[in-house]
A and B are shown apart, each in its own frame.
Chain A
Amino acid sequence: MTGQGISQIVFYSIALVALGYPLGIWMARIYTVPRVAGRFLASVERGFYKVVRTDPQREQGWKGYGVTVLVFSVLFFLVLYVIQRIQNHLFLNPDHMKSVPSHLSLNTAASFITNTNWQFYGGEYTMSYFTQMAGLAVQNFVSAAVGIAVVAAVIRGIARRSADTIGNFWVDLYRTLVYLLLPLAVIVSALLIWQGVPQTFSGHATATTLQGATQSIARGPVASQIAIKQLGTNGGGYYNSNSAVPFENPTGLSNFIEMLAILLIPAAEVFMFGRMVLAKRHAWAVFAAMFFVFALGVGVNLPAEQHGSSVLRSSGVNITQGHGQSGGNMSDKEVRFGQAATANWTVATSDASNGSVNGGFDAMTPLGGAVPLVNLFLGEVIFGGVGSGLYGMFFYIIIAVFVAGLMVGRTPEWLGKKIDAREIKVAALGALFVPTMVLSLTALSIVTKSGLASVYNSGVHGFTETLYAYDSQSNNNGSAFAGFGLTNFSADFGAIAMLLGRFVPMFAALALGGALAKKKIVPASAGTFRTDGPTFVVLLVGVIALTAGLMIFPALTLGPIVEGLMH
Chain B
Amino acid sequence: MKNAISSVIAIVVITAFFGFAYPLVMTGFAQVAFKSQADGSLLKVNGKVVGSKLAAQNFTGPKYFHERPSAVSYNAAGTSFANLGPTNPDLAKNIAAAAQSILKLEGPYNPGLTIHQIPVDAVTTSASGIDPDISPAYAQLQSARIAAVRKLPLATVEQLIHKYTTGRSWGFFGEPGVNVLELNIALDKESGA
Contacts and interface: CB of A to CB of B under 8 A. Distances in A.
Interface of A: 7-8, 11, 48, 51-54, 67-68, 71-72, 75-76, 79, 122, 124-125, 133-135, 137-138, 141-142, 170, 173, 177, 182, 185-186, 189-190, 193-202, 204-211, 213, 215-219, 221, 223-225, 239-241, 244-247, 250-256, 308-312, 314-319, 323-338, 340-341, 357-360, 362-366, 369, 456-457, 460-461, 464, 482-483, 563, 566-567
A125 B79 CA distance: 10
3 closest cross-chain pairs (CB), A and B:
A252-B174, A338-B175, A253-B169
Contacts of B76: 215-218
B30 to A, nearest CB: 4
22 contacts: A122-B78, A134-B15, A177-B18, A198-B39, A199-B30, A201-B27, A208-B49, A210-B59, A213-B57, A215-B57, A223-B26, A239-B79, A240-B79, A250-B54, A251-B174, A253-B170, A312-B95, A318-B117, A318-B137, A327-B119, A329-B124, A360-B82
Contact of A52 (B6, B22, B114): B6
B123 interface: yes
Q: Chain A CB within 10 Å — which of B26, B40, B88, B125 has the most? A: B40
Given A200-B40, A252-B173, A256-B169, A336 B86 contact: no
A315 B88 CA distance: 14
B39 A209 contact: no
Say what secondary structure dominates the interface of chain B.
mixed
Nearest to A74: B7
Contacts of A365: 86
B91 interface: yes
B174 A200 contact: no
A335 B133 contact: yes
A195 B169 CA distance: 10
Contact of A75 (B8, B13, B39, B96): B8
A48 B13 contact: yes
A338 B86 contact: no
Given A338-B175, A567-B86, A325 B119 contact: yes
Nearest to A357: B127
Interface string B123-151: 11111111111111111100000000000
A317 B99 contact: yes
B72 to A, nearest CB: 9
A319 B118 CA distance: 9
B54 A311 contact: no
Given A217-B51, A312-B120, 18 more contacts: A68-B7, A122-B79, A138-B19, A173-B10, A190-B26, A193-B29, A193-B37, A198-B37, A198-B41, A205-B52, A310-B86, A315-B96, A315-B115, A315-B123, A318-B137, A334-B127, A335-B175, A360-B83
Interface residues of B, number: 108
A256 B10 CA distance: 34
Contacts of B88: 457, 461
Nearest to A309: B86
Nearest to B102: A317
Interface in B165-191: 166, 168-170, 172-177, 181, 184-185, 188
A207 B169 CA distance: 28
Contacts of B115: 315-317
A241 B117 contact: no
Nearest to B87: A567
Contacts of B130: 245-246
B92 interface: yes
B31 interface: yes
Contacts of A326: 135, 175
Contacts of A244: 79, 81, 126-128
B55 interface: yes
Interface string B26-64: 110111011001111110010011111111011111001
Most buried by A among B5, B91, B126, B174: B174
Contacts of B118: 317-318
B6 A337 contact: no
A388 to B, nearest CB: 20
A333 B138 CA distance: 15
Given A199-B27, A335-B175, A210 B64 contact: yes
Contacts of B50: 207-210
Nearest to B39: A200
A238 B73 CA distance: 20
A89 B179 CA distance: 40
B18 A311 contact: no
Contacts of B157: none
A71 B82 CA distance: 41
A67 B3 contact: yes
Contacts of A209: 50-51, 57-58
Contact of B38 (A198, A240, A341, A357): A198
Contacts of B34: 193-194
A205 B39 CA distance: 9
B80 A317 contact: no
Given A124-B77, A142-B18, A335 B68 contact: yes
A146 B87 CA distance: 41
Interface string B100-115: 0000000000000011
A10 to B, nearest CB: 12
Contact of B7 (A75, A202, A221, A329): A75
Contact of A124 (B78, B117, B132): B78
B14 A341 contact: no
Contacts of B77: 124-125, 204, 216-218
B120 A318 contact: yes
Contacts of A247: 40, 52, 54-55
B184 to A, nearest CB: 6
Given A53-B5, A122-B80, A205-B40, A327 B120 contact: yes
A327 B118 CA distance: 11
A336 B133 contact: yes
B11 interface: yes
Contacts of B68: 335
Nearest to A145: B14
